[in-house]
Structure 1
Amino acid sequence: MRAADFGRLVALAAIWGASFLFTRIVAPVLGPALTADLRMLVAGVALVAYFRLVGFDPDWRRWGSKYAFVGLLNSGLPFLLYAYSALYLSAGLMAVLNATAPMWGALLTVLLLGERLTGRRAAGLALGAVGVAVLSRPDAGTTRAFLAIAACLAASFLYGLAGVYMKRWAGEVPARGMAVGTQVAAGLLMLPLIPFSPPPAGVTVLVAASVLALGLLCGAVAYLLYFRLIVDIGPAGALTVTYLIPLFGVLWGTLFLGEALSITMLAGGVLVVLGTVFVLRN
């Protein structure tokens, strides 16, 4: 891997790790539905503008239904679930739980696509399960925290399901089209939830800036970086960003929100990341 590719990989992990920080700032003020929808719509508008500038046509008539379905699985519902979880969990814990997505993907490829479950993947799934159990212990006294952890795991499951769907039934869709199409389609489909959101209260410059950061930085810029990495180092290499996202999620939460890093969280996080390494490693 070239130094420039490694730099882009680390930058992408830092950006996606920061998405949990920004969600923690925005969700308590705007509510989960509005937080998730603004994140997608801002990203979608930015990507539409960029791809118009470079002359790329997403071909909505041909791929629109797939954009909508994958958008709900890979963005709309997961973003909503993470925004809900942000009301009760730390940014660092959400980032670590997010790392279970490849494990769900590995399990679903066995169940839905008939792929063989290797010993290494089985070990990775077991490590991840133990890690999640360890991470759940600090919040064992609160039902809301348990529900928030379950919401994070459900979001990661949807990421894994979206990956399986794209691998099996949407492999012919252009990657750039998938990036812009999913954000726009999911953002529009989630609009009916907005009237059920609580009225925004206490919107500050920090909250507004965090909304823009979620959409522009963690959405548009991150997708462009990710697809550039896929071209330069291949899909397997690009997926290694999953190992680094929890580290940055914990780091940003500690630095900017004053979140505590407990021994339990550190141990559970290490187990989850190790499980991810086992699952993704060829």
Structure 2
Amino acid sequence: MGDRLKWVVLFFTILFWGLAFTAIKYAVQSLTPYELAFLRFLVADTLFIATIVHSRYRIERSDLLKVTFIGVFGVAIYHVSLNAGEMFIPSGVASLIIAMSPVFVLIFSAMFLDERITLAKVAGIVIALLGVYVLSHPESGGDLTGILLVLIATLSAGIYTVGGKVLMRKYDPLVLTSYVMVLGSVPLIPFAITSFHSVLRADLLTVLSVVFPTYFSYQGWYYFLNREEASKASVFLQAIPVVSILAGYFLLGEEITYLTVIGGAMVMAGIIIVVRSKS
């Protein structure tokens, strides 16, 4: 039952995260990147705090700085960069670039989790980066500013994943996720206070579409990550762009060009090589 539940949780995690890219593209039409990031956690943090209170479990004081560090990257930097990037590029292209997070997971895993980088993995990284170059072409809907912003988000996702994997050796994933999200969203408060009225005027569709996936996706991901190796678990993130591209096409009318297909295929092929190569 436990193993089956793991895959059910993964399915809905991928579904919610895939739809989140489409929701972001819709929301940045009326909110700034900072406002949108703050909105996602204004409601979601209530659920995260409730999880902390209900569990009555506390993070050791000596680990609070580490938890805050990965939280700032996994929440503030990741979401603001991604939101800003989607102001310039289609949601499907953004999701393909975010799918490169296993590249950074690999690099940081080699640094902190003693995973080796082989020649095959280097080749996979090169192929994936070439795919990003193709996606940056204007005909694929790419924009250099948007690409770079989403790459910053991808780097942040790598730090978040590996840092979380290290800390989960000591803490329950649900409780750890809650602390990471709450502490990581604190840097968003100063930026959002100046435009709080704009956040409050956000329509219900925007609120539901960006807040609902936040809590369940992060909790689901750490639940699954706690039961799989960091680099192996990251391969399943490759399903997210499929959901995002289809959702962007059907819900937002985003065009799927041949360069999007080629660049996306290169990115996904490179990542598959990275995660399937033996250490």
TM-score by length of 1: 0.84
Distance in 2 (CA, whole Å) between partners of 1:203 and 1:196 is 14
Unaligned runs of at least 5 residues, structure 1: none
Cα separation, partners in 2 of 1:138 and 1:252, compared to 1, 3 Å: same
Q: Which moved more, 1:229-238 or 1:272-281?
A: 229-238
**Secondary structure of residue in 2 paired with 1:182:** helix
Please name the residue that 2:131 is paired with: 131
Cα separation, partners in 2 of 1:273 and 1:58, compared to 1, 3 Å: farther
Please name the residue that 1:38 is paired with: 39
Q: How far did 1:121 drift?
A: 0.8
Q: Given that residues 127 and 269 in structure 2 are in contact (C-alpha distance below 8 angstroms), is that contact kept between their aligned partners in structure 1?
A: yes
Instruction: Describe the superposition over 1:52-73 as per-residue Cα deviations: whole angstroms up to 9, x where unpaired.
Output: 34x3424374543222211111
Please name the residue that 1:276 is paired with: 271
Please name the residue that 2:220 is paired with: 225
**Secondary structure of residue in 1 paired with 2:29:** helix
Distance in 1 (CA, whole Å) between partners of 2:237 and 2:178 is 21
Q: How far did 1:195 drift?
A: 4.8
Q: How far did 1:34 drift?
A: 1.1
Instruction: Describe the superposition over 1:78-104 as per-residue Cα deviations: whole angstroms up to 9, x where unpaired.
Output: 100011112121111111110111112
Distance in 2 (CA, whole Å) between partners of 1:73 and 1:228 is 19
**Secondary structure of residue in 1 paired with 2:210:** helix
**Secondary structure of residue in 2 paired with 1:29:** coil
Cα separation, partners in 2 of 1:158 and 1:199, compared to 1, 3 Å: same
Q: Given that residues 120 and 279 in structure 1 are in contact (C-alpha distance below 8 angstroms), is that contact kept between their aligned partners in structure 2?
A: yes
**Secondary structure of residue in 2 paired with 1:17:** helix
Identity %: 21
Q: Given that residues 91 and 244 in structure 2 are in contact (C-alpha distance below 8 angstroms), is that contact kept between their aligned partners in structure 1?
A: yes
Aligned partner letter, 2:182: V
Q: Which moved more, 1:92-101 or 1:171-180?
A: 171-180
Please name the residue that 1:259 is paired with: 254
Cα separation, partners in 2 of 1:202 and 1:25, compared to 1, 3 Å: farther
Q: Out of 229, 232, 236, which is 1:241 matched to?
A: 236
Please name the residue that 1:67 is paired with: 67
**Within 5 Å, which residues of 2 pair with 1:206-225?**
208-215=204-211, 217-225=212-220
Aligned partner letter, 1:226: W
Distance in 1 (CA, whole Å) between partners of 2:163 and 2:12 is 27
Aligned partner letter, 1:12: T
Cα separation, partners in 2 of 1:114 and 1:9, compared to 1, 3 Å: closer
Q: Given that residues 25 and 86 in structure 2 are in contact (C-alpha distance below 8 angstroms), is that contact kept between their aligned partners in structure 1?
A: yes
Cα separation, partners in 2 of 1:168 and 1:29, compared to 1, 3 Å: same
Q: Given that residues 33 and 84 in structure 2 are in contact (C-alpha distance below 8 angstroms), is that contact kept between their aligned partners in structure 1?
A: yes
Is 2:53 the partner of 1:52? yes
**Secondary structure of residue in 1 paired with 2:97:** helix
Q: How far did 1:183 drift?
A: 1.3
Cα separation, partners in 2 of 1:219 and 1:198, compared to 1, 3 Å: closer
Q: Given that residues 88 and 145 in structure 2 are in contact (C-alpha distance below 8 angstroms), is that contact kept between their aligned partners in structure 1?
A: no
Distance in 1 (CA, whole Å) between partners of 2:222 and 2:159 is 20
Query: What is the aligned residue count?
Result: 276
Aligned partner letter, 1:86: E
Q: How far did 1:250 drift?
A: 0.7
**Within 5 Å, which residues of 2 pair with 1:13-24?**
13-24=14-25
Q: Given that residues 46 and 220 in structure 1 are in contact (C-alpha distance below 8 angstroms), is that contact kept between their aligned partners in structure 2?
A: yes
Aligned partner letter, 2:191: L
Cα separation, partners in 2 of 1:107 and 1:162, compared to 1, 3 Å: same
Unaligned runs of at least 5 residues, structure 2: none
Please name the residue that 1:183 is paired with: 181
Distance in 1 (CA, whole Å) between partners of 2:194 and 2:144 is 23
Q: How far did 1:214 drift?
A: 2.0
Please name the residue that 1:29 is paired with: 30
Cα separation, partners in 2 of 1:104 and 1:232, compared to 1, 3 Å: closer
Cα separation, partners in 2 of 1:137 and 1:199, compared to 1, 3 Å: farther
Please name the residue that 1:86 is paired with: 86
Superposition RMSD on alpha carbons, in Å?
3.0
Distance in 1 (CA, whole Å) between partners of 2:217 and 2:53 is 18
Please name the residue that 2:148 is paired with: 150
Distance in 1 (CA, whole Å) between partners of 2:225 and 2:27 is 30
Please name the residue that 1:162 is paired with: 160
